[in-house]
Amino acid sequence: MSRHIGSHYAIFCAMILSASCGRSHGDCNVSDSVLARVGNSVLTAEELSSAMPFGLSHEDSVKFVRGYVRTWIDNKLVGEVAINNIPDSKSIDRMVDDYRTELIMWEYRKIMLDQHAPSFLCEDSLKAYYEKYSGDWVNETPLLKGIFVRVPEADAHIDDIRKWYKSNKTSDLESLEKYTLSETVEYDYFREQWIEWTALKSKIPFPDNFSPDDYWKNHKVYETSQDGQLYMLSVSEYLPVKSAKPYEVAIGDIKDRLSNERRLQYDRQLKDELFNKGIKSGDVELNVILD
């Protein structure tokens, strides 16, 4: 018996003894490690041990054992009753077969996608698809580029920080980046990539009635303070809700759509190949016109 199973064996004994309600017991001995039996089905200590989560306390382990054993017995009993009383068990068999087929098809699609991804997900193909369906890529939340800084209001270099985070000069941005290495300063530079408005909204205490679309029409910076902290945001580019998504933002949606289209294509391809092969070999007999 492994160390893991052995440790649970003592718990099984505790569970059995605690459930005995006054009956006397000698040494705990679960015959052949069988904890429960329903008809010809048995639940062994080894099976239960493999299902038991690690790190449970003794009390929680006993609860887990009791619950698991009772659930196992209930499932077996209900399962036997169901098998004997379902009038059309063949429908269950058909559903199992259909589900198995779906799993096989899914694995086939995955293999085919892995083999062909470089050809249909290359940069030129993705950009061409983006241009062809440009009207489909619309952002559901505002997008923006810029710089965000949070510093204590009492920081001695507030004036310098205000100058740096609004600037486009490389030297100013380098000074800001060096200064924000301090543990008391939070600094995000995202002038080279689009981020969603919701990501910033969670960091900055905007008023409840703040409208980003209205505000960024006429402003490039926003400052506010709360609890001794100063929040500063400069926005270099802004796209309101329902704007066309930039290619670099839409790329994930494009890949998902192309992958789904290819999955359907591979499904059809596999079915057609197997159908034609079955007709040719005689495995498929068809007595109706399909086309």
At 22 the pLDDT is 40
At 31 the pLDDT is 44
pLDDT digits (tens, 9 = 90+) for 134-151: 899 999 999 999 999 999
- Helices (H) and strands (E) counted in the chain, each on its own, are 10, 6
Tokens 């995202």 sit on residue: 190
> Model's pTM, two decimal places?
0.57
235 pLDDT more than 70: yes
pLDDT digits (tens, 9 = 90+) for 189-201: 999 999 999 888 8
Note the maximum CA span of the chain.
88
d(CA 26, CA 31): 14
Report the chain's mean pLDDT, rounded to a whole number: 82
Alpha-carbon distances, residue 26 vs 13, 17, 23, 29, 30 (angstroms): 11, 10, 10, 9, 12
Supply φ then ψ for residue 14, to 5 degrees: -60, -40
pLDDT digits (tens, 9 = 90+) for 7-50: 445 555 555 444 433 434 444 444 458 888 888 888 888 888 88
By CB atoms closer than 10 A (0-12, 13-18, 19+), residue 265 is middle
In the chain, the percentage of residues whose pLDDT exceeds 70 is 85
d(CA 284, CA 260): 29
In the chain, beta strands by DSSP E = 34-38, 41-44, 143-152, 186-196, 221-226, 229-239
d(CA 113, CA 102): 16
Report CA 263 to chain centroid distance, whole Å: 20
Mean pLDDT of 53-80: 86
Cβ atoms of 190 and 234 within 8 Å: the answer is: no
At 116 the pLDDT is 65
- The full 3-state SS of 58-113, as one line of letters, equals HHHHHHHHHHHHHHHHHHHHHHHHHHHHCCCHHHHHHHHHHHHHHHHHHHHHHHHH
At 17 the pLDDT is 44
pLDDT-wise least confident of 12-16, 118-122, 182-186: 12-16
d(CA 9, CA 3): 10
